[in-house]
Amino acid sequence: ETGVTQTPRHLVMGMTNKKSLKCEQHLGHNAMYWYKQSAKKPLELMFVYNFKEQTENNSVPSRFSPECPNSSHLFLHLHTLQPEDSALYLCASRGEGPYGYTFGSGTRLTVV
Amino acid sequence: DAKTTQPTSMDCAEGRAANLPCNHSTISGNEYVYWYRQIHSQGPQYIIHGLKNNETNEMASLIITEDRKSSTLILPHATLRDTAVYYCIVRFDNAGNMLTFGGGTRLMVKP
């Protein structure tokens, strides 16, 4: 365990479904992130939250909707996804200073 | 916007030192070098970071050249569990957010 917990680990959903990914950290970090990692593509930043406020939306389609109710929890709400959205979705957190990111184990999403 | 260049893959014998190079010739003076690794289908794991001086922790050592244009991650006694993709990162936006990882080096530790 890294200190960042993601659930579920695996998710299969149809294109008309609505689902949510959850991320939780109790490291006292103030910044939380969603990243997407597709097969054979580099990691891509999706959303950034600092002190619960969204500070960056990296041109992500509106079918992905983030929510950060407090500094320990981060959600990614999914609706009407496409098969090309199938990927590993990673949550990360970071504290103050030039320290590294702590990643969760990811949610492997398959859209059918 | 500093970018990195790493070999696509490397092999290492179990018990030997693994030396993973990274070129970052456009790095600016205040940018840190970070190393992560990712074991198949898991989240990336932070290994080490440095600015100018060489660094060592319980996982690895980081050697940064004096001109800071390249660095080497050293795993002193590689084990089979060190088989992973290793990423060298210097690319952050103005707010300090890590944007992407790049291709990385696939290290295969062999018995």
Q: Is the pLDDT of residue B2 over 70?
A: no
Over residues B30-49, the pLDDT tens digits come to 888 999 999 987 899 999 99
Question: Which among A6, A48, A102 has CB closest to B97?
Answer: A48
How far is B10 from B28, CA to CA, in rounded Å? 28
Question: Which among A45, A90, A100 has CB closest to B34?
Answer: A100
3-class secondary structure for chain B? CCCCECCCEEEEECCCCEEEEEECCCCCCCCCEEEEEECCCCCCEEEEEECCCCEECCCCEEEECCCCCEEEEEECCCCHHHCEEEEEECCECCCCCECCCCCCEEEEEEC
Phi and psi at residue A84, to the nearest 5°: -70, -5
Over residues A17-48, the pLDDT tens digits come to 999 999 999 899 989 999 999 987 788 899 99
Confidence band (pLDDT; 50, 70, 90) for A1? low
Q: Is the pLDDT of residue A80 over 70?
A: yes
pLDDT of residue A81: 94
Q: A108 to chain B: nearest residue by CA?
A: B41
Cis peptide before B7 (omega within 30 of 0): no
Looking at beta carbons, which residues of chain B come within 8 Å of A7? Answer: none
Cβ count within 10 A of residue B52: 12
Over residues B66-92, the pLDDT tens digits come to 999 999 999 999 999 999 999 998 867
Asked if B46 lies within 8 A of A102 by C-beta distance, the reply is yes
pLDDT of residue A11: 97
Q: Is the pLDDT of residue B22 over 70?
A: yes
How far is B109 from B23, CA to CA, in rounded Å? 22
Mean confidence (pLDDT) of chain B? 90
Confidence band (pLDDT; 50, 70, 90) for A102? very high
More confident residue, A27 or B95: A27
Provide the token pair at A9: 């680990």
Nearest 5 degrees, angle CA B17-CA B23-CA B24? 135
Asked if A105 lies within 8 A of B42 by C-beta distance, the reply is yes
pLDDT of residue B29: 80
Hey, is the C-beta of A56 within 8 angstroms of any chain B C-beta? yes
**Among B87, B99, B102, CA closest to B39:** B87
Kind of pairing between the strands at A44-50 and A53-57 = antiparallel
Min distance B100 CA to chain A CA atoms (Å): 5
